[in-house]
Amino acid sequence: MDRPVRKDIRLDNYDYSRNGAYFITICTKNKMCIFWDNNDKYKPIADNQPPIVGAASRRPQNNDKKIHLSEYGKIVKNELYKIPTIYSDIVFIPKFVIMPNHVHLILVVNNDNNNGRRNAAPTVSRIMNQFKGCVSRQSGFSVWQKSFYDRVLRNEWEYRNAWQYIENNPINWENDELFCKE
């Protein structure tokens, strides 16, 4: 049986190791909802608890709710935090969110050193493939679908829109095309 041919979703002749910001979405294999505990909705935080910190789980203008990451969600979060340490001073992740069956992030590549020379920067594909491999190895099974979606953020307006989308994605989860019911 012939498999369908995947459409190439990368920009032709674009250097994905060049300086810039990228909005990335990575989905789980077969849309498995494994990153939130019991695919829960927002559970209230007790009044005596401080709000959860970190771009991965902050809720916009809604500090009374938080996401409880599953064991696999915590692996994803830890690996996302490692990316900037692996590519020190070259790769940054200023914003991300972990959803039940996908991850959104803004990845920034800045491969200019202090002398104005370019460092050897990895491609976005290499960074994402290494990240996905680390998560799958720690999880003990193949977590991700093949490839990932990316959008080159070409200006401040696109960057802000991506940021806002990430910020609001948990609130809009039930309307998301990747929404999964238990």
Q: Which residues of the chain have pLDDT under 50?
A: 6, 41-64
CA distances (Å), 82 to each of 42, 63, 94, 135, in order? Answer: 26, 26, 13, 11
For position 103, what pLDDT does the model report? 97
81 residue type, one letter? Y
d(CA 106, CA 95): 6
Segment 51-69, tens digit of pLDDT: 444 444 444 444 446 778 9
Domains recognised in the chain with CATH numbers = 20-173 (3.30.70.1290)
From the list 156, 180, 165, the residue with the least C-alpha distance to 105 is: 165
Tell me which residue has tokens 């039940």: 100
Determine the Cα–Cα distance for residues 34 and 117; give it in Å rounded to an integer.
42
What per-residue confidence (pLDDT) applies to 44?
34
pLDDT at residue number 156: 96
pTM for this predicted structure: 0.76
Residues 171/60, Cβ–Cβ less than 8 Å: yes
